[in-house]
Amino acid sequence: MSIEILKRKLRNSLVFTALLIGAFFMLFPFLWMLFVALKKSGHGFLLDFEFVKPIYANFLEVWKNSSFPFSKFFLNSLIVAGGGAFLTALFCSMGGYVFAKKKFWLKNIIFWLMLATLMIPGMMYMVPQFAIVTQLGWINTYKGMIIPHVANVFGLFLLRQHMETIPDALLDSAKIDGASEWQIFKTIIIPLSMPVITTVFLLSFLFQWTNFLWQLVVNTPDSTKLTLPVGLALFRGQYSTEWTKLMSASAFSIIPIAVLFLIAQKFFIEGLTAGAVKE
């Protein structure tokens, strides 16, 4: 066996070992969450193996706890995250189509001004958004939780960049055949842009699912529209915290995100790279 082959095998072994170590550190918080979720109450941060029997008892107790309506919080989060992500993907795809394929006065200036708003910290919008939501009477409603975050400039940018790569000849051929604007958008633009639309949907879903501060602001303590991030805070008491129950509920909360990314990971990767290279 030559020296070059030995060097190559050694290099590959070192790279593989480094990747394993990196993967362990990346997965360690998740593994620790599951470890604590399976422990007995009061043993959350003890380095012992006093697991509750059956091991899924903590998960059942969280789901069926009458004083903590976890299933209601879970449903609220699905409605807010799913509805917000759908509306964001829809409006961003429509806006991206207009900015990519239509001509109108000051189009580029308007687009770049919209991109400039990405440099403004999100906290700057919270007070005016809250004032508007209050005036509209949307406190403790799904509308107040979803609509203020439907306008997504980054999603608009992604879709516009991708839709610019779609040949104009396809649209011109459809127009010659008598297709309307809606038919062109539905039968040509949407199918060809599906990877990017899926990416925008996933990113918006993740943002809405993990959004804590805004959902806390637009809901009063007696609201029936509380989402999971706000509901999980109820496990933290003034003098103590039910860490085993908190970790069990947190484990539940990552299921929708994990399932979505596993199902749509191919579209997600394609969407992030679409439009990155122009010929």
Residue labelled with tokens 């095998």? 9
pLDDT by residue, tens only, the chain of 279 residues:
577 778 788 888 899 999 999 998 988 888 888 888 888 776 767 777 777 777 777 788 787 776 778 888 889 999 999 999 999 999 999 999 999 988 888 888 999 999 898 888 888 888 899 999 999 999 999 999 999 989 889 999 989 988 988 888 888 888 888 888 889 998 889 988 888 898 899 889 989 998 888 998 998 888 888 898 888 877 665 555 677 878 888 888 888 888 888 877 776 666 556 545 444
Residue labelled with tokens 């900015």? 99
55 contacts: CB under 8 Å, gap ≥ 6: 38
- CA 262 to chain CA centroid, nearest Å: 13
Query: What is the Cα–Cα distance from 85 to 211, expressed in whole angstroms?
Result: 13
Query: What residue ranges define each of the domains in the chain, with the CATH number in brackets?
Result: 66-273 (1.10.3720.10)
Q: How far is CA 90 from CA 152, 216, 225, in A?
A: 11, 26, 24
Q: Supply the pTM of this predicted model.
A: 0.81
* pLDDT value of position 279: 46
Q: DSSP state, 40?
A: P
Angle of CA points 161, 115, 94, to nearest 5°: 50
Instruction: Give the tokens for residue 43.
Output: 């043993």
Contact 243, 36 (CB under 8 A): yes
Query: What is the Cα–Cα distance from 105 to 113, expressed in whole angstroms?
Result: 14
* pLDDT value of position 272: 58
Query: What is the Cα–Cα distance from 68 to 147, expressed in whole angstroms?
Result: 27
Query: What is the Cα–Cα distance from 39 to 66, expressed in whole angstroms?
Result: 21
Query: What is the Cα–Cα distance from 106 to 80, expressed in whole angstroms?
Result: 34
Backbone φ/ψ region at 40: left (φ over 0), alpha (ψ -120 to 50), beta: beta
Q: First vs last Cα of the chain: how many Å apart? A: 45
Angle of CA points 34, 35, 37, to nearest 5°: 60
